[in-house]
Structure 1
């Protein structure tokens, strides 16, 4: 019989065995060897066995009708199960079938994987499977859209690429060191001939070290939404070496200054816009930066009376370095991730808007104030991109580039003297290692590609998941 399963053959063998027992029991025995009571008992046993044989025959016929010429193949069964049709899945054969593909960037089934046993529905990631007409779970072809999350990569930039799961908390202490150096030559005078300068030549070298320790707290409000709060503490030290030529000075002058204080506290939120079933993920972010740090208008500037105009006395440099920008900022951003096995490509675009401050004045020596008017720093247009590569189940490596274009600062509605658009470009290499289910170590190194960018930046992060 074509198409009969193992259960059908087992039922047929049992029916044959019962028929043999019935034939042996039906042979007439001499009346002298059995009493009337024993004959009645044998008749009852025969009647019960006939009923069992009839039931087995009906079950065998139904099994043959289902698994005969109308039996579904494995591919057709997988296709009907993927449509969520309980009627089609009800006639599934008891043999093995190919596993159903799940949604996500790596949704292709593995040809080398063993086949899934029949009759076991795939379990979704978060939501429960809907009930079928018979009261049991209906076959599931795809996981719910909200369960898909971006893949994890070694972080390079300020904002992480993976969202925090719902109900989880991540505490991330971090440490960042930056070093920047610049050389400036100022020529003040006029030329008689191209080879002769009458006036002042100021050669200045600046060495700047910045150390920032921060503590960030992130939590997932849902599988697609997370919020973050970050509080930094900043220590800065600057050394300016200068020599004024044509003023009778033959030695270098060194001006050292430093500052340490809490930095600008930040709060942000990030939301995943799509399910990622097509392999690409889009995450929108919004970050608000306060001005809790010591801003440039609170520190004392090295000027006796004023630092602008003709009456200048002092270097014009701050005696104590600020640790904050002094302005509120709002930054929307859009991050994208595209998984292409074995790599993950990612990038983002952002726009940081600095809010204007009115009636600003800065503090000079002897407690005097210099009025500056309305001041607004230039807005920042930023973009970055990179690639992450998983080395094994614990380690990953990332390469990326980050660029920021800073607009001109405006004072009193006009561009501030000496203010120009600044370009910052940084090449980044990051490494991530998962120490355990709760701890991970992330290290990144950045190299400045423009003269205004810090020469080197080293960042270390240790996120802890609760």
Structure 2
């Protein structure tokens, strides 16, 4: 009994002695766990702060990319902005800038989008910071604005890229709501020599008669004001108002006179030219490595001074055996005197980093009846019905972007002019004429709404002007 009581007492004493020690151990474990939990919370807070910072930077970069995409219809940003973007954004920006040219006729630069036409090019929106409200993003848009912007971008992605302009018709259409006002100046110079033998030969070395030698120098200045606007992103209309100044100098010997003295016949003319109205429509949705097709229709009026309204240096008949005078006009015409209608088809093929382009056209001159020519003594010489020959033309070339502001184009233009008919009969001496010109064009963007376009042409056939120089400064509104 006493031994049992003793064991119980010893056990109770041991329990009393071990209880504080066990409580101390439990307290130490809880403290360690609390400390570790606090450390984990601190690390989580630091990581959350870092993630939030990265999300803010990512949203800022996304806003910059969105602004770049929204400015696709304006000149491209500087290359320094591209360096500041993440690698994916750099690739996107560089792919937009290659092969787009600088500006064509002042129209905003349009980059070729590698995404399909019905797919939005903007990257998906990034979520807000973890554990907090999403901060306001620069350039954030409401749903209605975003939908309108996406629709505009999809339409713009379907438009062809731009090249430095070489020819009369621009390759890129004016976007809807945009207006282009394009003053231009064109200079052309040509010279020709003609030798005519009027008589007969006894032997090849002996001529009995006259030798008619004429050397003609022609200078033509054409100032024009062109206005165009886009009815939608696929169609534009254009009006061109030209003013022409011409001067000719002819060194010749008067026909059917016995003198050997050469004379210089100078004449000039200046007046409004033939006003033109044109429309162009994009026929398909092109894309990278897919061609764009643009149809055009141009009408040329007879507002300029007609060749049949200027006085000709003839005192009697100018056609026939009794010719008196040089047969040259005393003042030069500034128009063709015939109504014309031209249909054309233009194609553009983007192939990074270049853009290939070409055009085929046909110009029909409408015939006129009852035409008379005014001679020097005030009389009218009847000419009857005149039907100028039609003109078949084609051209092709390549455009290359040098940087985000400048572009260069090379091309060739060729036209075939058919023979002219009078009263249903081909005019004697009228032949089919071939006109070929090599062209070099350069474009530089001066500002967001203004650019400078220069094109130089060199004639490669005898009937083509020796040199032509065209300067355009389009303004966009």
TM-score, normalised to structure 2, is 0.69
Cα distance between partner residues in 2 of 1:365 and 1:376: 25
Tell me the equivalent position of 1:440: 451
Q: 1:189 is matched with which residue: 199, 220, 239?
A: 199
- 1:152 partnered with 2:199: no
Query: Given that residues 203 and 244 in structure 1 are in contact (C-alpha distance below 8 angstroms), is that contact kept between their aligned partners in structure 2?
Result: no
SS of match in other structure, 2:241? strand
1:106 deviation in Å?
Answer: 4.6
Query: Given that residues 310 and 332 in structure 2 are in contact (C-alpha distance below 8 angstroms), is that contact kept between their aligned partners in structure 1?
Result: yes
1:243 deviation in Å?
Answer: 3.3
Tell me the equivalent position of 2:175: 165
Q: 2:219 is matched with which residue: 198, 209, 223?
A: 209
Query: Given that residues 266 and 290 in structure 1 are in contact (C-alpha distance below 8 angstroms), is that contact kept between their aligned partners in structure 2?
Result: yes
Query: Given that residues 344 and 389 in structure 1 are in contact (C-alpha distance below 8 angstroms), is that contact kept between their aligned partners in structure 2?
Result: yes
Cα distance between partner residues in 1 of 2:366 and 2:266: 31
Tell me the equivalent position of 1:464: 475
Q: 1:270 is matched with which residue: 274, 280, 288?
A: 280
The structure-2 alpha-carbon separation of the partners of 1:155 and 1:370, relative to structure 1 and needing over 3 Å to count, comes to same
Tell me the equivalent position of 2:390: 379
Within a 5 Å distance, the mapping from 1:107-256 to structure 2 comes to: 107=114, 144=154, 147-243=157-253, 248-256=258-266
Q: 2:400 is matched with which residue: 389, 398, 421?
A: 389
Query: Given that residues 316 and 323 in structure 2 are in contact (C-alpha distance below 8 angstroms), is that contact kept between their aligned partners in structure 1?
Result: yes
TM-score, normalised to structure 1, is 0.71
Cα distance between partner residues in 2 of 1:354 and 1:245: 32
Q: Provide, for residues 32-91 of structure 1, a one-character-per-residue CA deviation record: whole Å limited to 9, x for no partner.
A: xxxxxxxxxxxxxxxxxxxxxxxxxxxxxxxxxxxxxxxxxxxxxxxxxxxxxxxxxxxx
More helix by share: 2
Gaps of 5+ in 2: 1-29, 35-87, 97-110, 117-121, 129-139
- 1:413 partnered with 2:420: no
Cα distance between partner residues in 1 of 2:422 and 2:176: 45
The structure-2 alpha-carbon separation of the partners of 1:108 and 1:164, relative to structure 1 and needing over 3 Å to count, comes to closer
Cα distance between partner residues in 1 of 2:162 and 2:147: 30
Q: Provide, for residues 81-140 of structure 1, a one-character-per-residue CA deviation record: whole Å limited to 9, x for no partner.
A: xxxxxxxxxxxxxxxxx99x999845179xxxx9866579xx9xxx98889xxxxxxxx9
Cα distance between partner residues in 1 of 2:363 and 2:322: 36
The structure-2 alpha-carbon separation of the partners of 1:243 and 1:364, relative to structure 1 and needing over 3 Å to count, comes to closer
Tell me the equivalent position of 2:50: none
Count of residue pairs brought into register by the alignment: 357
Tell me the equivalent position of 2:267: 257
1:271 deviation in Å?
Answer: 0.4
1:248 deviation in Å?
Answer: 4.7
1:288 deviation in Å?
Answer: 0.3
Query: Given that residues 201 and 246 in structure 1 are in contact (C-alpha distance below 8 angstroms), is that contact kept between their aligned partners in structure 2?
Result: no
